Amino acid sequence: MATVKFFLGIVCFALAGRYSLPGRNSISLRQNPALANEQRLLQVAKKELGVRERTGNNDGPGIAAYLGYVHVPEGNAWCAAFVSWVFGQAGYPAPRTAWSPALFPLNKRTKEIRPAVVFGIYFSHLKRIAHCGLVERQEGDWMITIEGNTNPAGSREGDGVYRKRRHLKAMKYFANWTGRKGADDEN
């Protein structure tokens, strides 16, 4: 009886694991380094959840690190600096800017929404992209994001790094800085 159970266990293991064996069309991080890079970016961003400004004036140790990464002093808006810092911590040389519109050059724009893509929100009264962050995942018409210089209400002048739920219609542009090409990249 033990031999039969052992044999059935091997068969079940082989069947369950056959799509993750080398040479198969599996989606493993080892076989798809682009997915590993996206996950690394999101791991860096997730570790920053909960970082808050010290006095509510774009200041504090975490904010100073983000702004310092892009050579801008404390006191400045920092959503783009946060995105740039996350990419830098994950080993990417770019982007490296504190100016949110600079995150959306034509050669980086994409219509493909996937993890670690940068999103931009357009503010009509400023006539430009004025807030940005990283897409963590998509849930139907909603984006789960990780972004800096926001708050629970979703302000672009917030007090920390938060996970937000934003509607797709709020997003003007998406940019792919990972180098991973998708079918809908506008390059």
Structural tokens at position 72: 């801008």
**Is 73 a member of any domain?**
yes
* Amino acid at site 168: L
Each residue's pLDDT tens digit, 35-51:
788 999 999 999 999 99
CA distances, 117 to each of 14, 26, 39, 86, 104 (Å): 36, 22, 11, 12, 11
Mean predicted confidence (pLDDT) in 99-119 = 97
Each residue's pLDDT tens digit, 156-183:
899 999 999 999 999 999 999 998 766 5
CATH code of 90's domain: 3.90.1720.10
For 132, the domain range is: 31-175
Least Cα distance to 149 among 93, 104, 91, 84 occurs for 84
CA 80 – CA 65 distance, rounded (Å): 13
At residue 94, the pLDDT reads 97
**Is 92 a member of any domain?**
yes
* Amino acid at site 147: E
Confidence of residue 22 (pLDDT cuts 50, 70, 90): very low
**Is 150 a member of any domain?**
yes
Our measurement of the distance from residue 118's CA atom to the centroid of its chain's CA atoms, rounded to an integer in Å, reads: 6
Computed over every residue of the chain, the mean pLDDT equals 85
**Is 25 a member of any domain?**
no
* pLDDT at 30 > cutoff 80: no
> How wide is the angle at C-alpha 103 spanned by C-alphas 116 and 184, nearest 5°?
60
**Is 62 a member of any domain?**
yes
Return the SS3 of 116: coil
Residue carrying the six token digits 């938060």: 162
CA 42 – CA 146 distance, rounded (Å): 8
At residue 35, the pLDDT reads 75
Structural tokens at position 63: 């904010």
* Amino acid at site 186: E
Count structural domains, the chain: 1
| Residue 95 backbone phi and psi in degrees, to 5 | -80, 165
**Is 10 a member of any domain?**
no
**Is 64 a member of any domain?**
yes
CB neighbours of 19 closer than 8 A, spacing ≥ 6? 25, 26
CA 146 – CA 130 distance, rounded (Å): 16
Mean predicted confidence (pLDDT) in 92-103 = 98
